[in-house]
Amino acid sequence: MFTGIIEATGRIEAVSTAGTNRILWLSSPITGELKIDQSIAHSGVCLTVEEIKNDHYRVTAIAETLKKTNLDSWKTGDLVNLERCLSYQGRLDGHIVQGHVDATAECIDKKDRDGSWEFRFRFPAAFAALVIEKGSISLNGISLTIFNVTRDEFSVGIIPYTFEHTDIQHVVPGSRVNLEFDMVGKYVIRHLSLQGAVTASH
């Protein structure tokens, strides 16, 4: 479990493939604190640390992950947001995030608001019921509040600290970002769909 509060950014140092898998080597300021088998959210994608060498570590993304995320476009030199899993001794500063990306969204606008930034994204309309005004969303692993919601678009506001310390600074119109919708909302939608199925069967 994660909170969507980014700890650091990591740099992709090497990319390779093995069958349908994509293998990434990354460097980061927190590599020295990582352990083999530890789960790390990479721009919202939960990946397992498989090997550590000095300040570099290796992760693998399988076909299902590549299908649901923007990870297939990551290349050497790119920065990604990093967050280690939630510690029960810590405070929940964001919202509950699993690191299980639901879909990607396209940035369609970016505005400098003279002290903050406003981004607008278009997402698959099939997820419209999970996107609500002033609700929470994980965008590239960052816990954000959404506003100006339509059926397939929403906006987010970015404060200077978040802009400077995450990969959101490199997002421009046309960029794809990873989305994870609120977990509670997903359970509610699932429950309602099952209730509807039961009603229809009677």
β-pairing, 142-147 vs 136-139, is: antiparallel
- Does 145 fall in a domain? yes
- Does 169 fall in a domain? yes
Q: In what order do the strands lie in the sheet with 8-18?
A: 45-48, 39-42, 79-84, 8-18, 21-27, 56-61, 51-53
- Does 89 fall in a domain? no
pLDDT tens, the chain, 202 aa long: 788 899 999 999 999 999 999 999 999 999 999 999 999 999 999 999 999 999 999 999 999 999 999 999 999 999 999 999 877 666 666 677 888 999 999 999 999 999 899 999 999 999 999 999 999 999 999 999 999 999 999 999 999 999 999 999 999 999 999 999 988 888 888 888 888 765 555 5
**Where does residue 56 rank: exposed (0-12), middle (13-18), buried (19+ CB within 10 A)?**
middle
Task: Give the pair of three-digit tokens for residue 86.
Answer: 């939630």
d(CA 190, CA 131): 15
Same domain, 31 and 58: yes
CATH label of the domain that carries residue 153: 2.40.30.20
d(CA 29, CA 141): 18
Helix then strand count (H, E) for the chain reads: 3, 13
Same domain, 147 and 109: yes
- Does 28 fall in a domain? yes
Q: What pTM did the predictor assign? A: 0.84
Q: How many CB atoms lie within 10 A of CB 7?
A: 16
User: Could you tell me if 174 and 167 are in contact, meaning their C-beta atoms sit under 8 angstroms apart?
Assistant: no
d(CA 154, CA 150): 6
Range of the domain at 108: 103-189
Same domain, 181 and 114: yes
Same domain, 114 and 72: no
Same domain, 185 and 107: yes
User: Could you tell me if 136 and 182 are in contact, meaning their C-beta atoms sit under 8 angstroms apart?
Assistant: yes
Model pLDDT, residue 73: 95
